């Protein structure tokens, strides 16, 4: 269901159900729980950190965020633009700081998500509710349909990229180092910070927060917001998610035109999208090229919608989500 008091009150019964069914992914579940323990220790360590370390932790938000948005999402998952080797290597490092799984595995699951969005084959199917789409899916074994779908898609382009394979070969140790230890080493080396406060704040706390920012794209942006481009698609335009996820909340557009490198209709002047701005800057200096856009397709789609409107054809409506259908039945 959506984000509500009932969602939280139902968590114990849902946990019991999956416990009895043997669906719990123990290694990942333990890891995600430990991540939050480390993050909470980071909260306690905030008072021990210098202002330089706090600023460094803040800067690691967009740095690691670009590793997801500019890198594994728009470049490697959707191939919405092409990038030179130095850019790909830099984005791989940023992605490793983000530590959300290797580029290969992230892109594999994301391509499955787009092809089978809001079905059993979707790794974080929002039809199963806010909590599942946000982080619950990581605590459970993958649905058999997700596994089947992942075996059917072509990932040869990822195998052919040496940067992707380099990171995959070192997974997960390189990402764990870049996520937790590297930020602390920078703080120790350049402004004399103590290692452990930097480890828990610039590493653990920042990591936990950015994880939730990314997860909001799967949960909040699939449940709350406007649907101006595809009225029967559940992904929505969510300004708040766009801010926290450095430009990834314009989700109705993105699911309509996943090949668009901007993942939004407009640029930074109209929609918060620093990820698009960063790609544009790289293109200006010739480090990326072949940026694809969905604006021409939308111009034609908008013209068709206007013709239908003038002819009195109503816009279609999305199928109610399970909890919406139950609520409608109760109100009858």
Longest dimension (CA), the chain: 70
The owner of tokens 């290692």 is 195
Tell me the average pLDDT across 157-182. 98
For the chain, give the mean pLDDT.
95
Alpha-carbon span 203 to 195, nearest angstrom: 11
Nearest partner of 106 among 168, 51, 56, judged by Cα: 168
Residue 329 has a pLDDT of 74
Which pair of tokens denotes residue 56? 């460094």
DSSP states of 25-41 as a string? -HHHHHHHHHHHHHHHH
Q: Is the pLDDT of residue 330 over 80?
A: no
Say if CB 135 and CB 215 are below 8 A apart: yes
Q: What are phi and psi of 293, to 5 degrees?
A: -130, 155
Q: Residue 222: which residues within 8 A CB-CB, separation 6 or more?
A: 118, 126, 133, 234, 235, 236, 251
pLDDT at 8 over 70: yes
Rounded to 10°, the helix 103-115/162-170 angle is: 110
- Burial bucket for residue 286 (CB in 10 Å: 0-12, 13-18, 19+): exposed
Q: Round to whole Å and give the CA distance between 134 and 146.
A: 17
Q: What is the DSSP letter of 122?
A: S
> Is 62:208 a contact under the CB 8 Å cutoff?
no
Tokens of residue 253, six digits: 């557009």
Q: What is the pLDDT of residues 267-301, one digit of tens each?
A: 888 999 999 999 999 999 999 999 999 999 999 99
What is the arithmetic mean of pLDDT over 184-205?
Answer: 98
Exposure string of 141-154, with b = 16+ CB inside 10 Å and e = fewer, is bbbebbeebbeeee
The DSSP bridge pattern shows strands 288-289 and 82-83 to be antiparallel
Q: Cα 117 to chain center, whole Å? A: 14
Share above pLDDT 70 across residues of the chain, in percent, rounded to a whole number: 98
Report if pTM > 0.85.
yes
Q: Average the pLDDT over 184-191 and give the result.
A: 98
Contact yes or no for 51/187 (Cβ under 8 A): no
Q: Cα–Cα distance between 32 and 64 in angstroms, integer?
A: 18
Structure tokens at 85: 């080797």
Supply angle C-alpha 172, 175, 179, rounded to 5. Answer: 135
């Amino acid at each position: 269901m959506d984000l509500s008091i009932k969602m939280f009150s139902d968590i114990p019964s849902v946990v019991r159900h999956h416990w009895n069914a043997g669906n719990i992914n123990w290694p990942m579940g333990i890891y995600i729980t430990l991540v939050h323990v480390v993050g909470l220790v980071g909260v306690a360590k905030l008072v021990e950190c210098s202002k330089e370390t706090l600023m460094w932790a803040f800067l690691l938000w967009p740095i690691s965020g670009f590793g997801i948005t500019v890198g594994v999402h728009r470049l490697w998952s959707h191939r919405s633009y092409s990038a030179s080797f130095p850019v790909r290597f830099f984005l791989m490092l940023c992605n490793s700081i983000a530590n959300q799984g290797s580029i290969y595995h992230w892109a594999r699951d994301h391509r499955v998500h787009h092809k089978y969005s809001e079905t059993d084959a979707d790794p974080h199917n929002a039809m199963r509710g806010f909590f599942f789409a946000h982080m619950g899916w990581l605590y459970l074994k993958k649905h058999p349909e997700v596994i089947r779908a992942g075996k059917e898609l072509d990932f040869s382009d990822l195998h052919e990229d040496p940067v992707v394979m380099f990171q995959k070969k070192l997974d997960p140790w390189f990402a764990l180092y870049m996520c937790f230890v590297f930020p602390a080493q920078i703080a120790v080396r350049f402004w004399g910070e103590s290692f452990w406060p930097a480890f828990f704040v610039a590493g653990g706390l920042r990591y936990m927060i950015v994880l939730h920012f990314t997860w909001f794209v799967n949960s909040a942006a699939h449940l709350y917001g406007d649907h101006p481009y595809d009225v029967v698609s559940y992904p929505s335009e969510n300004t708040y998610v766009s801010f926290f996820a450095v430009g990834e909340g314009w989700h109705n557009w993105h699911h309509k035109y996943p090949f668009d490198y901007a993942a939004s209709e407009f640029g930074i002047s109209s929609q918060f999208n620093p990820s698009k701005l960063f790609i544009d800057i790289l293109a200006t200096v010739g480090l990326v090229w072949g940026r694809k856009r969905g604006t021409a397709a939308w111009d034609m789609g908008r013209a068709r919608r206007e013709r239908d409107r003038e002819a009195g054809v109503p816009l279609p409506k999305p199928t109610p989500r399970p909890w919406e259908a139950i609520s409608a039945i109760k109100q009858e």
